[in-house]
Structure 1
C-alpha cells in the first residue's frame, strides 16, 4: 500500500518530459541531444530517470531508430499537453500579449534572405503574431507536422508522395568537388544524408547503373555538412540546384548520370488552419510561384 501511495505522489519533471518528447520526435538520441544542446549520455540518463519514475520502459531502442512503447505513446500525449500548459503559464506570468503563435518549418536551404524578407513583411503586418521557425531535414519537419508540433511546413519529397496545399518541381544536381574531383575513383566515394534520408537511394541507384562500385565516404544530417564534404573532396553527392556552390563541379549526362525530376517542394498545413497560417501559406505560394516560373 505504501508503494502505491508513493507512486501516486510521483511528480514528473518537465525537463525529463521535454527530453522524452524530443527523442520520440527525432527517433534518435543523437539528434535529440543536438536539438536540446546537450550530450547523448545526458539524454540517455534523463530517459532512464523518467522510465524509473514511470516504472516501465518508455522507448524501444532499435539498431537505427528509437520508438515509443505503448506506455511511451500514452505518456507522450499527456507530456505534450503539460509542456504546452507550462509555456502558456510562462507567457501569462511574463505579461505576454501575443494572441497567436504560428509554428513554421522550412528546410535548411530555405533559411535565406528571401525567407527572412518574407517573414519580416509578415510580422510587420501582424505584430501581435509570434513566429516560431524550425529548420532541418524534411523528414524531421514532416514528422513534427504529423505530430502536431508545426502548423505550416515546406518539405522536400518524392512527387505526389503525400497530399499538399501546393507543390513545385525541385531541380536536382549531381555534384563533385571543383578542386579535387572524386568521380573517377574506384569505388566511387559517396556523400549522403543518413539512411532513409532524401536523395540517398537515387544517388546509389544512379552510380550502380554506371556499373560502378561505390562506398559511403561521409554521412551527415546537415545540408551544410554535405556541401562542405563534397567541396573538400570527400566524394560526389546529389543536392537541390539551389544548394550548389562555386566550390562544386556539376556533373550530368556527359558523365552518364541521369536527369532527375522526381522531387518536389510541398507546402503543408491542416484544412482547419488558423487565418494567420493561411495568410503566411499564401505568401510562400506567391514566392515559390515567382521563383519557379
Structure 2
C-alpha cells in the first residue's frame, strides 16, 4: 500500500505553479533542497518522472500534467477539511423542534448526516406537539421547527402532504366496537380533526385514555384497547393501519410545514435545512408570504 503525502503534493503543485523549485521554496518557506527532495520522493513512490529537467526551465511531463490535476484536488480537499473542522464559523448550536410523530424514521438519519458534515456543530433536538413547538418558536427558543398541521400556513414552507390513517393493534378488533374507543393525546393537533370526522360520519366515540403520554397511548392501542390516527408511514412496528373497509370515516391530508428564523443563513443551517427538505419528500418548497 502506497500513500501520498499532502505536504509533498503541495510542494509539487507549488513548483508547477511557480515554474521552478527556487520560487516554490520561497512560497512554501522551505529550503530549495527540501523541495527537491520531496519531488524526488514523489517520483520514486510513483515510479514515473513528473518533471522534465532537460531544459533551462522545469516543465511537466505527460505524467506530471496528469498528476497535477489530482494533486490540486487532494490539496484543496485537505484544506477544506482542515478548515471545516477548525473554523469557528462551523461551531455553535442549532435548536431543531420536531413533533413526536415524525421523529422516526427521518430525523435520526438527518442528524447522522449533518454530524458527519459538521462535527463541531451541535443540534439540540426538541420534541413536543405542534402547538407547543409553535409557541417555543414564537418565543425564540427554536431556530427551526417542523409541524404537522391541517393546512398550509403563511410564513412556512410546505415540505409534504401526508394522509392521516387509522391505526390499531395487529389483527386487532377495537375498530369494530361502538362507541369507538379512541386514544389521541389531549394536546394532539389531530384530535379535533379525528373527532370532527367521526361526528360527521355519525360514529359514536369514547376517549379510552386521556393523556399526553405518547408511550401510554401507543401501549393502549397495541393492546387493542383503542384505535388512533397517525400520519401514514409513521406508525411504529407494533401497530398497523386498520383495514376497516369503510367502517371508519376517511381522514384528511396533513401538511408538514417548516418554519425557520432569520438567523439561519449560515452554511451549516442551510445544510441542515436541505437535509430536512430532502428527508420529508421535496428538495425545495415555496415559502408562503405572511398576510399584511
Query: Residue 174 of structure 1: SS of its match in structure 2?
Result: strand
Aligned partner of 1:259 among 250, 259, 262: 250
Instruction: Answer with 136-145 or 149-158: which moved more.
Output: 136-145
1:103-118 alignment, distance < 5 Å: 103-112=95-104, 114-118=106-110
Aligned partner of 1:200 among 191, 205, 208: 191
Structure 2: where are the runs of 5+ without partners?
Answer: 1-87, 284-292
Aligned partner of 1:156 among 132, 148, 151: 148
Q: Which residue of 1 aligns with 2:201?
A: 210
Q: Which residue of 1 aligns with 2:117?
A: 125
Does the CA contact (< 8 Å) of 2:97 and 2:142 recur in 1?
yes
Greater gyration radius:
2
TM-score, with normalisation over the residues of structure 2? Answer: 0.59
Does the CA contact (< 8 Å) of 1:166 and 1:268 recur in 2?
no
Q: Which residue of 2 aligns with 1:269?
A: 260
Aligned-residue CA RMSD (Å):
2.9
CA-to-aligned-CA distance 1:270-290 (integer Å, 9 cap, x gap): 244241322211111122236
Select the structure with the greater relative contact order (CA < 8 A; seq sep ≥ 6).
2
Mapped partners of 1:278, 1:97: distance in 2? 13
CA-to-aligned-CA distance 1:202-247 (integer Å, 9 cap, x gap): 2222222332322111133243432221111221211111232454
CA-to-aligned-CA distance 1:26-61 (integer Å, 9 cap, x gap): xxxxxxxxxxxxxxxxxxxxxxxxxxxxxxxxxxxx
Structure 1: where are the runs of 5+ without partners?
Answer: 1-95
> Would the alpha carbon gap of residues 165 and 203 (structure 1) be closer, same or farther in structure 2, given more than 3 Å must change?
closer
Query: Residue 280 of structure 2: SS of its match in structure 1?
Result: helix
Mapped partners of 2:168, 2:105: distance in 1? 26
Does the CA contact (< 8 Å) of 1:227 and 1:243 recur in 2?
no
